[in-house]
A and B are shown apart, each in its own frame.
Chain A
Amino acid sequence: MTLAANSRTSFPPATAPREPSSRPRRPASTSTLGISLVTLASLIALWFFAAHFGWASPLFLPSPAEVLTQFSAVAADGYANGTLLDHMLASLGRIAAALGVGIVLGIPLGLLMGLNRWVKGIFSVPIDLYWGLPPLAYLPLLIIWLGIGETSKIVLLSLSTFAPICFAAQAGVRSVPAERINAALSLGANRLQLFKSIILPSALPEIMTGLRIAIGAGLSTLVAAELIAAQSGLGYMIMSAANFLATDIVFVGLIVIAVFAFAFTSGMRWLERRLVPWKGKL
């Protein structure tokens, strides 16, 4: 007996769209936006008054106006071998390259480690060992091996972005509910279909979280590496300015990095909402 023949005499449809079973939507991000903006404005005002009334010497705390002036000066005329844009592009280029390496190597290897006991057994020890080290501890070694140029910095950054991405992909695979896999097998999925249709999408929320962590780790390693060994980049600019006690330029550099970090995090959150809107549901 086929199902098609009976579709006309079907079970009475559920009509009234019931309220979603998930909890009512909380306007969390929108309702705190105003509060956050007020906090930000207060901090800037506090900074302004502190500088204006001379609570601290301009050497330690330059006024907002001065930082703004320096901002346009550095943007136009440059500082420490390049304009602000040059330094920004140098830093961004490094972190983009490192993220690329981290994604291209970390996601496939992490997925394999989640799927296969042998791959996990072989790779987890070396990754655990180096991930426990502070990146700056092995930067000198990388410089000895690879020279002072871009290669050593990009390898350093790639190592710091690779591990969180790899761990996240692995955790993503292991977080797939066993029943979901059993259900797919009962629907006739072969191994490739199981991976493509079930495991990969199930691991995606974890992978996105891993990417966000990787960007954070990469950014802090980047600036630290540039403080120590670089001829360009925001970290280098800050270090050069600090050597001459140009606190206003240090502030310019810090603000640019803060804005970058904020933009990356917001961008990732936006991407997560777009790519994995089901995260945390079911």
Chain B
Amino acid sequence: MLRIRDASVTFPASDGEEVHALDHISLDIAPASIVVAVGASGCGKSTLLSAIAGFLPLTEGTITLDGRKIEAPGGDRGVVFQKDTLLPWANVLDNVALGLKFQGVPRSERRERSRRLLELVGLADFAEKPPYELSGGMRQRVGIARALATDPKILLMDEPFGALDSLTRETMQQLLASVWAKTGKQILFITHSIEEALTLGTTIVVMSPRPGRIVARFEADFVRDFAESGDIGPIQSHPRFIELRQEIRSLIHKPEGARTGNLQ
């Protein structure tokens, strides 16, 4: 269980003013849930992820994972970045095995485990390729496999499909739903796409900028159907989906002054 309590992050801006990137955020991420944070750019959703990953210190508040306070990056939190961060000098298999290598897992075992993960993300035939010969979508699959390899407690995904074309994106969403259904990982997923949030989230938190706050949260379970059927069409045309999408959209586009009334 990941617990975020009153987390605030304040940056000094260039004009001397302070920017409240995160303003007293509280959020729990339960095992086997996908929490999707959605909001316009600048709403602090990426800051939230960086703080959980340990890349960025909190100004106030605490984040704990299974009771342990988070203070630095660590192998218990797998991160998938928007831009892939694969090592160009290592082939796909060795990239997936990187975390296991850091843990000191023997070579034959880490290759074996990495191969299974490449099968899971459908890239078994590409194990020996250098990452720069892969397409953007395939590289993100390698990134997901790499983050899963060390069996982290939580997967943090920072707009991982944001740079992909819409068709590849759908395939990747389907892949993630099926990986989630198989592994039962808890996931924090950041996106600016409302459709993506509703398709993938078991909990959707809507964030607003300046200061970065959670303005609403919704429960959904479209992802279970999606993981089973693999068909995005019926899900996105479901009346409840359309209703929620409209509600979230109006929350995000509401003028800043009118947003003070908290839904939750």
Contact = CB atoms under 8 A, between A and B. Distances in A.
Interface of A: 1, 3-4, 6-7, 9-15, 17-18, 20-22, 177, 179-180, 182-190, 193, 197-198, 201, 276-278, 281-282
B130 interface: yes
9 contacts: A21-B134, A22-B132, A182-B55, A182-B73, A183-B81, A187-B146, A277-B130, A278-B130, A278-B132
A151 B114 CA distance: 54
A11 B85 contact: no
Nearest to A188: B75
SS of A interface (majority): loop
Interface string B82-104: 01111111000000001101110
Top 9 closest pairs, chain A to chain B, by CB: A188-B75, A187-B99, A278-B88, A185-B73, A183-B85, A281-B132, A11-B122, A13-B122, A186-B79
Given A4-B116, A187-B75, A11 B86 contact: no
Contact of A183 (B79, B116, B138, B151): B79
Contacts of A184: 98, 102
B116 A3 contact: yes
Contacts of A185: 54-55, 72-74
B120 interface: yes
B179 interface: yes
B74 A12 contact: no
Nearest to A8: B119
B81 A179 contact: yes
Contacts of A20: 132-133
A10 B120 contact: yes
A198 B87 contact: yes
- Greatest chain B CB density within 10 A among A4, A177, A182, A198 is at A182
A33 B85 CA distance: 36
A264 B124 CA distance: 42
A18 B134 CA distance: 8
Contacts, number: 126
Contacts of A9: 182
Contact of A14 (B138, B146, B183): B138
B39 interface: no
Contacts of A15: 125
- Greatest chain B CB density within 10 A among A17, A185, A190, A276 is at A185
B135 A18 contact: yes
Contacts of A1: 182-184
B201 interface: no
B117 interface: yes
B102 A187 contact: yes
Given A1-B182, A182-B53, A282-B88, A6 B120 contact: yes
Given A1-B184, A186-B73, A281-B88, A7 B116 contact: yes
Contact of A12 (B88, B122, B182): B122
B207 interface: no
A180 B87 contact: yes
A6 B53 contact: no
A282 B78 CA distance: 21
Contact of B136 (A21, A177, A183, A281): A21
Interface string B53-64: 111000000000
A59 B180 CA distance: 83
B78 to A, nearest CB: 7
A51 B65 CA distance: 83
A175 to B, nearest CB: 13
Nearest to A5: B182
Nearest to B53: A186
Interface string B182-202: 111000000000000000000
Contacts of A22: 132-133
B121 interface: yes
- Greatest chain A CB density within 10 A among B121, B124, B126, B132 is at B132
Given A22-B132, A190-B102, 5 more contacts: A3-B182, A14-B138, A185-B74, A186-B156, A188-B102
